Amino acid sequence: MNSQAVTWIQDHSVLILAALAVVEGIICLALLRNARHARHEMKAAQAAALESARAAALAAPGAIDPEAVLALLRQGHAPTLDNVYAMMRRREMQTPNNTDDSAPPSKKAAAAGVASRNVPSEPTVLSSSEVEERLRQYER
């Protein structure tokens, strides 16, 4: 660089740094706005996923308990059939009187649906990594 440019930069270094700070501030504000927008979109997508899981479970009455699907989603597990049936079996085992006449018809039908599939009585507990591995197997 020639000495005239170096001298100009040295003379105006404070102004140059102030301009860079303003540009960085504008970039940070834009990124913050995008992050807030993305967070809002994520919360809306989560709400839609919960509602669609409930609707899908209710669309096949007697087969899937919607609360089991929602419990899986809240725990961060994939709502695959294996996981849903395992969760339904766990819920059945936790309630001592699942054949009670006071139970809602959807719960009775869900219990009957699980029993009619000849599912083993032992609950299958899957960790997150096992769930992800099964998802990879289904994708192949």
Same structural domain for residues 103 and 80? yes
Place of tokens 């294996």: 82
Please tell me the distance from the alpha carbon of residue 90 to that of residue 68, in angstroms, as a whole number.
9
Helix 81-94 vs helix 66-75: angle between axes, to the nearest 10 degrees? 110
Residue 14 corresponds to which tokens in the numbers above?
């404070």
Same structural domain for residues 48 and 65? no
Place of tokens 């919960």: 50
- 10-residue averages of pLDDT along the chain (140 residues): 88 95 97 95 84 70 73 81 83 70 49 44 59 63
Q: Angle at Cα 25 formed by Cα 20 and Cα 29, nearest 5°?
A: 150
Residue 122 corresponds to which tokens in the numbers above?
């032992």
Same structural domain for residues 132 and 81? yes
pTM tops 0.75, yes or no: no
Please say which residue of 59, 77, 100 terminates a domain: 59
Please tell me the distance from the alpha carbon of residue 99 to that of residue 117, in angstroms, as a whole number.
17
Q: Tell me which residue range forms the domain holding 135.
A: 61-140
Q: How many domains are there within the chain?
A: 2
